[in-house]
Structure 1
Amino acid sequence: MLTTTVCAALSAAGLAVAFLTAWRRRFVAATRIAALALVPVGLAMSGLVELFGEVGGAVASWASGLVLEPTVWAGFGVLALAVVLYVVARFAGGRSRSRAAADRPADRPADRPVGGSGPSRPAVGGGRGKGDAAAPDDDFSDIEAILKKHGI
């Protein structure tokens, strides 16, 4: 009952400020103030104020039990280990992919047909035009050609 009264008083004060702001012909600011002023009474009417109180009490009881229980601290240690392992795996995975791309030769033997006849590269993407002399792994050769064409 007391929380509803406090929320209603806060909303009434906010609406009074919004009215005074609108009196000075600052309607956009007055609308924003009125919107914020209606939040406390809306929270009280929907029952969310009591819900926040119960959640706060639950967090407080958990925090008070946190200090003396070794299993809780062991749980935090396990969570920290999980995060460290995940970060290490992401870092190692990124390095191995970039290292594999750097170690790969420009023309792999699997791309060449047996006997030396035919094109040395598969004709999947078609010709490159001006960028034919560039290495096949150079993904930026097309972009470089366009920038040179425009004088950049």
Structure 2
Amino acid sequence: MIAETICAAVSAAGLGIAAITAYRKRFLAAARIAAYALVPAGLVMTGLVKWVANTAFSPTAWAGFAVLAVAWLLFMTTRAVERRGGGTRKERRAAAKAARQGGAVEPAASAPSLGAGDKPVTRSKPKQSAAQSGDDFSDIEAILKKHGI
């Protein structure tokens, strides 16, 4: 009952401010203020305010919110542990099996494509001028060699 009274007072005050704004010939702003002022009245008429007021003072509703918070906390904790542990259980088993066999786990997309034939396509390198010797790009070449490119 008190929530409905407060909403009615807010709506009345908002409509009063909208009337003053319209009197000052700011009709667009007055229409916007009137729209905001009618929202609390509409919420009271639909019964939403009564439902929210009953929920806010209900111990059962707050216990339900607590259960939802615990569930969310469990979801987030399991995701964090999964990310930190190196993926899902299936991915960890596959990695352990590959480590026992002595090979590293490589994704299928990392293998170079060979094109139509069995031989890889090679491209000829353009000749470098004397000013662009191997010293200029030696750092880049070292990085590329380190990554196997």
Q: Is the Cα–Cα contact under 8 Å of residues 14 and 36 in structure 1 kept in the other structure?
A: yes
Percent identical: 35
Distance of aligned partners of 1:86 and 1:41 in 2 relative to their CA distance in 1, 3 Å threshold: farther
TM-score by length of 2: 0.50
Deviation at 1:53, TM superposition (A): 2.0
State which of 106, 111, 118 in structure 2 corresponds to 1:104.
111
Counterparts of 2:72 and 2:34, CA distance in 1: 44
**Structure with more of its chain in helix, by fraction:** 1
Q: Which runs of 5+ in 2 are unaligned?
A: 92-105, 124-149
CA distance in 2, matches of 1:12, 1:81: 48
Deviation of 1:23 (Å): 0.8
For the residues of structure 2 that align with 1:99 and 1:78, how far apart are their CA atoms? 31
Change in 2 beyond 3 A, CA 1:77/1:19? closer
Q: What is the CA–CA distance in structure 1 between the aligned matches of 2:73 and 2:40, rounded to whole Å?
A: 40
Contact 2:11 2:41 in 1 (8 A): yes
Q: CA deviation at 1:107?
A: 1.9
Partner SS state of residue 112, structure 2: coil
CA RMSD, aligned part only? 3.7
Q: Note if contact 1:11-1:41 (Cα within 8 Å) is conserved in structure 2.
A: yes
Distance of aligned partners of 1:42 and 1:83 in 2 relative to their CA distance in 1, 3 Å threshold:
same
- The CA distance in 2 between the partners of 1:77 and 1:3, in whole Å, is 33
- Which consecutive segments of 4 or more residues in structure 1 shift more than 4 A? none
Could you tell me which amino acid in structure 2 is paired with residue 60 of structure 1? W
Change beyond 3 A, Cα 1:12–1:79: same
